Amino acid sequence: MYSESSSSKGISIKSPEEQQKMREAGRAAAQVLEMIAPQVVAGISTQTLDDICHRYITEELGCVPAPLNYRGFPKSICTSVNHVVCHGIPAAAKVLKRGDIINIDITVIKDGWHGDTSQTFYIGEPGVLARRLVETTREAMVTGIRMIRPGVRLGDLGQAIQRIAEQHRYSVVREYCGHGIGRVFHEEPQVLHYGKAGTGVELQAGMCFTVEPMLNAGRAEVKLLPDGWTVVTKDHSLSAQWEHTVLVTDSGYEVLTLRQDETV
Ligand code: MF3
Ligand code: CO
Ligand code: CO
């Protein structure tokens, strides 16, 4: 028995068998965050976090860390601290300290299929400004995810996410977005975290994509550092992000990267 991949306007529709592979990949990615969470503390370097995740992904989960060598990215995870928006490169010299926030972004390849998820952690007790930004960013992601069902358009999600950010006087990063995901890390569609309701791709059961808003406490503009990867806020304001991989089902959605004790 076999099934052919199908697609709609270049967006792949996963068969039931393919959906099961995506579930397994998503679960593996979630397990990495569950494993690393207790170790995300003051005094640890982002390189050590990378080492621990690399070993767990390859040896315990039997997966491949998707970022490693992806378009030349040199490490297995992304670690984005404070004003780093995304794609921070783990480094031995980057030691976490109390009051920092850090996004850890995990993408694994399990049996050829990708699972992609990220979480922002506090180091020690967060300040009130950091807590409000991080919680609002998660609320924005969750609000987008809960809207997912066949017939809804991606612009509906984008507008809702943007509204939450702007109600709190935060800004949404425009240069990076969510993405379709499957055998390919980044595939169609692009999932913008801003936009206009009633526009964009209409969702269909069997689509898989990420929702991963990046919110800045200050202005939306970002810049790329000379290392070619690290993205920072131009005004050096704090930035937070959360990410899940989601499947569109007949009745709504399934979060493929949900952690134990997490609800969406
Ligand atoms: N995981 C990121 C995403 O959410 C992509 C990281 S690409 C890398 O799409 F090369 F920086 F790892
Ligand atoms: Co992603
Ligand atoms: Co990611």
Q: Which residue has the tokens 């039931």?
A: 16
70: Cβ below 6 Å to ligand 1? yes
- Amino acid letter at 116? D
Structure confidence at residue 1 (pLDDT): 43
Tens of pLDDT, residues 196-232: 999 999 999 999 999 999 999 999 999 999 999 999 9
257: Cβ below 6 Å to ligand 1? no
Would you list the domain boundaries of the chain? 11-255
The answer, yes or no, to whether residue 5 has pLDDT greater than 80, is no
Using a pLDDT cut of 70, give the percent of the chain over it. Answer: 98
Residues in Cβ contact with 92 at an 8 Å cutoff, skipping those fewer than 6 apart:
45, 47, 48
What number of residues does the chain have?
Answer: 264
Confidence of residue 158 (pLDDT cuts 50, 70, 90): very high
State whether the Cα torsion 224-213-88-55 is positive or negative: negative
Atom of ligand 1 nearest to the CA of 185: 9
**Class of 11-255 in CATH:** alpha beta
Instruction: List the one residue out of 88, 60, 115, 77 whose CA is nearest residue 247.
Output: 115
Distance 177 CA to ligand 3 centre (A): 10
115: Cβ below 6 Å to ligand 1? no
The ligand whose atoms approach the alpha carbon of 211 most closely is 2
- Amino acid letter at 87? H
Q: What angle do CA 135, 139, 144 make, to 5 degrees?
A: 155
- Amino acid letter at 137? T
**Closest CA to ligand 1's atom 3:** 116
Q: By the 8 A CB rule, do 99 and 241 touch?
A: no
What's the predicted TM-score (pTM) here?
Answer: 0.98
